[in-house]
Amino acid sequence: MTTPENSLNRLTAANLIVALVALFGGVVTGFFQALEHSGVNVYPSTPLVQSYYHSLTLHGVLNVLVWTTFFICGFVPFITTRALRIPLTSLGLAWGTFWLMTAGLVMAAIPLIGNAATVMFTFYPPLKAHWAFYVGLTLVVVGTWLVTLNLALTWRAWRRQNPGARTPLPAFMSLVTFAMWTIASLGIAAEMLLMLIPWSLGLIGGTDPLLARVLFWFTGHPIVYFWLLPAYISWYTLAPRQAGGKLFSDPLARTSFILFLVLSTPLGFHHQYTDPGIQVGWKLVHAFLTFAVFFPSLLTFFNVVASLESGARARGGRGWVAWFGKLPWGDPSLAAQVLAMLLFTFGGIGGLINASYNLNLVVHNTAWMVGHLHLTVGTAVTLTFMGVSYWLVPHLAGRALWSRRLALGQVWSWFIGMIIFSNTLHRLGLMGMPRRTMIGAASYVQPEWKALLPLVGIGGSILFASSMLYFLNLILTLTASRAPAPAVPEFAEALSGADHAPAILDRWRPWLALAVLLIAIAYGPTLVRLAATTPLDVPGMRVW
């Protein structure tokens, strides 16, 4: 019999399948790139992947745009309905959304795989891709808005049945994530609809790289929190319980998410410090706002560590630091998340360096950035999602995880591989090695880079092996596992509960209004000036 619950399970599974297929393509191309940096050029013998830059575009798009987005669109509605204890308002809408996003993905994938959209995941003009690439990605974004709509309708239905009650924390966090993203994605939507799509179709003659970059980073910075916040949802609402403890503070957790809602978007210029044509005063404003959005992650650090500590102490942990060893390290789902947190601490420190204008001039466009993004989206997010899938996939499949030991090996090898890989790239960046460059073909490779480059290959190979263990375990779970799936982890209780949270934290309008106001201040003058004065006359290029 189809109940709403198993219909939602099928929807979650469908999203996860697309996500995992994308991740597979992403890790294979990533492996090729790591080999290239260490002197092994595989591209002459890979018929599907025609060049280093083709590979890099596939890697970026599949990992940061497709794997993340589809995983999130499966995981977050699952969490929301579990927390609210009601079904999604419209399963029809949800399936329509899934098929729209998948159709968009297929549309974008055809030119992408066919080497007609080798423009990196940032698709900066004047690089010009096939129009189907832009239209397809736009459909995926529109799909995410429909997820927002469905979550909002579901919450309204819950609110009608529960007037006056506090929104359960996991649902509150889910809604904030999608509300933030929906505002933030307006930049990329404008770039696509007003610039890239008409231009690639030949309806307008030229483009404007600076205006396009401003619109891109309007979305491109907050998109990193669209990836991160679902991982935070797991760290706050599931990991404390998985560790045998309680969430330290529910009100503090809500405060952190409200700060993300308000502060995530108005700071994209920290990706454009070196772009001419943006007044330096506005860059300074965006720098300060970047330091401000650092704060909710510090709140998260404090709250999550205190929560894990409560679990470890309940399990007999002692001392200031030694309790850490008493976490249930045998649980691959929790181990994945805690190791992801540890590396994210360094990703966060690197982020502060990136955000500091004068230090940014040293690291911008170098391999340092590649090190940074692999600690953040490549570990904090990806390793956490892997940890989540170690209970979510068994639940959806109705079969226990094939091997916990294999999963633990996978999690630790990701951690070790990433330490080698990311540390090396940070160091290479400080030595001036550029990112997004086929290093093996560069004429300016320095002797000190040569000494480190093999480590990129070694770290990358460990990461590749780790991801193969991950896929192997999931495939064997689906095909060979016979034991029934254990129960889904319950949400953590809070030491300091929702009723301690000020009521204003459960209201939407003031925070949404504040978010829009800050965006208008931070972006308004620059966007209006650029849009009013653009001649839109730069011709497109195909450099590959």
Q: Interface with ligand HAS by CB under 6 A: which residues?
A: 122, 224, 227-228, 270-271, 290, 293-294, 297-298, 300-301, 304-305, 324, 341-342, 344-345, 348, 351-352, 354-355, 360, 364, 369, 372-373, 376-377, 381
Select the span of 37-45, 218-226, 472-480, 509-517 touching Cu ion (CB under 5 A): 218-226
Which of 255, 290 has the CB closer to Cu ion?
290
Beta strand 247-249 pairing with 494-496? parallel
Smaller CB separation from ligand HAS, 352 or 521: 352
521 binds, among ligand HAS, Cu ion, none (CB under 5 to 8 A by kind): none
User: Which range, of 142-150, 213-221, 230-238, 480-488, touches Cu ion by CB under 5 A?
Assistant: 213-221
| Interface residue with Cu ion, options 54, 128, 130, 221 (CB under 5 A) | 221
In the complex, minimum distance from the CB of residue 96 to Cu ion, in angstroms, rounded to a whole number: 32
Q: Where are the alpha helices (DSSP H) in 269-356?
A: 280-314, 332-355
- Of 354 and 526, the one with the shorter C-beta distance to ligand HAS is 354
Q: For ligand HAS, give the closer residue by CB, 326 or 395.
A: 326
* Residue span 172-211 as binding mask against Cu ion, x where in contact by CB under 5 A, dash where not: ----------------------------------------
One-letter amino acid at 504 equals I
- Nearer CB in complex with ligand HAS: 324/412: 324
- HSE, side-chain direction, 13 A CA sphere, residue 447: 0
Q: For residue 480, report the phi and psi dihedrals to the nearest 5 degrees.
A: -115, -15
As a whole number of angstroms, the distance between CA 30 and CA 370 comes to 12
How far apart are CB 163 and ligand HAS at their closest, in Å?
Answer: 34
Least distance CB 283 / ligand HAS (angstroms): 11
Q: At what angle do helices 509-533 and 209-220 cross, to 10 degrees?
A: 170
Phi, psi of 494 (to 5 degrees): -110, 140
Q: Quote the least distance from Cβ 168 to ligand HAS, whole Å.
A: 22
Complex with ligand HAS: residue 175 or 355, whichever CB lies closer:
355
Q: How far is the CB of 86 from ligand HAS (least distance, A)?
A: 30
Secondary structure element (H or E) that encloses residue 467, with its range:
helix 447-479
Which of these, 326, 366, 329, 333, lies nearest to 350 by C-alpha position? 366
Least separation in angstroms between CB 225 and ligand HAS: 7
Question: Pick from ligand HAS, Cu ion, none: which does 377 bind, CB < 5 to 8 A by kind?
Answer: ligand HAS
Closest CA to 51 of 129, 114, 107, 128: 114
Q: Does 286 bind Cu ion (CB under 5 A)?
A: no
How many residues lie near Cu ion (CB under 5 A)?
A: 1
Least distance in Å: CB of 248 to ligand HAS? 11
Nearer to Cu ion, 177 or 466 (CB): 177
CB of 253 to Cu ion, least distance (A): 23
Instruction: Choose the contact partner of 297 out of Cu ion, ligand HAS, none; CB within 5 to 8 A by kind.
Output: ligand HAS
DSSP structure string for 95-161: HHHHHHHHHHHHHHHHHHHTTS--STTTT-TTB---HHHHHHHHHHHHHHHHHHHHHHHHHHHHHHH
Place of tokens 């940061």: 64
3-class DSSP state for residue 180?
helix
Nearest distance from C-beta of residue 62 to Cu ion, angstroms: 21
Binding site partner of 304, from ligand HAS, Cu ion, none, Cβ cut-off 5-8 A by kind: ligand HAS
Smallest gap, in angstroms, from Cβ of residue 255 to ligand HAS?
14
Report the candidate in 353, 346, 367 with the shortest Cα–Cα distance to residue 56. 367
Task: Point out the residue whose Cβ comes nearest to Cu ion.
Answer: 221
- Using the rule CB under 5 A, give the single segment among 100-108, 220-228, 238-246, 306-314 that binds Cu ion: 220-228
DSSP character at residue 216: H
Which residue, 24 or 301, is less far from ligand HAS as judged by CB?
A: 301
DSSP 404-434: HHHHHHHHHHHHHHHHHHHHHHHHHHHTTPB
List, in sequence order, every residue forming a beta bridge with 249; answer none if it has no partner.
496
In the complex with ligand HAS, the residue whose CB is nearer, 82 or 372, is 372
Q: Select 67 or 158, whichever has its Cβ closest to ligand HAS.
A: 67
Based on C-alpha coordinates, what's the Rg of the chain? Answer: 23
Cβ nearer to ligand HAS, comparing 378 with 394 = 378
Q: With CA atoms as reference, report the closest residue to 379 among 330, 427, 337.
A: 337
Residue placing its CB nearer to Cu ion in the complex, 13 or 353? 353
- Rounded to whole angstroms, how far apart are CA atoms 66 and 19? 6
- Measured between its terminal Cα atoms, the distance across the chain in Å is 53
Distance CA 507, CA 177 (A): 15
CA 311 vs. chain centroid, Å, equals 27
Q: Which does 475 bind (CB under 5 to 8 A by kind): ligand HAS, Cu ion, none?
A: none
Q: How far is the CB of 179 from ligand HAS (least distance, A)?
A: 18
**381 dihedral zone (left: phi>0; alpha: psi -120 to 50; beta):** alpha
Q: Which of 410, 427, 290, 300 is nearest to 354 (CA)?
A: 290
269 binds, among Cu ion, ligand HAS, none (CB under 5 to 8 A by kind): none
Supply the minimum distance, in Å, between the C-beta of residue 377 and ligand HAS. Answer: 4
Residues that bind Cu ion (CB under 5 A): 221
